[in-house]
Amino acid sequence: MSSTVSITKVFTFNSAHSLPGHPGNCKNIHGHTYHLEVTIRGPVNPDTGMVMDFYDLKNLVKENIIRKLDHCYLNDILPCVPTVENIAVWVSRALQDKLPLYKVKLWETPSSCVEVYAGDV
């Protein structure tokens, strides 16, 4: 019998953005070092002992997310106002058809993050 488990891979990327219409300093161009946690959930494959190889998960996220967002101006990339909430939703939507996505957690600062569950996007 196979168990269902969650695995998480953590990534870091640097990007700049501005929040048009924001009443504070965030209306100006500024940058963050984002920390992205991608969690997938599924049965443990009895042949491999894994839900997914971390190497494959890393490559998939790097190709579909990190290479697109790292060292860029998010306002030019995303089709929405690039708040941390909208970035996390965008990441979730970009990954949901590519793997058994469970949750995306995106840290904008060491004390501020957002979580998006795959079933909610």
Q: Indicate which residues carry an active-site annotation.
A: 26, 71, 108
Give the chain as a 3 state SS string: CCCEEEEEEEEEEEEEECCCCCCCHHHCCEEEEEEEEEEEEEECCCCCCCCCCHHHHHHHHHHHHHHHHCCEEHHHHCCCCCCHHHHHHHHHHHHCCCCCEEEEEEEEECCEEEEEEHHHC
Six token digits for residue 79: 């089709």
**Count of residues for the chain?**
121
Tokens, residue 33? 């070092």
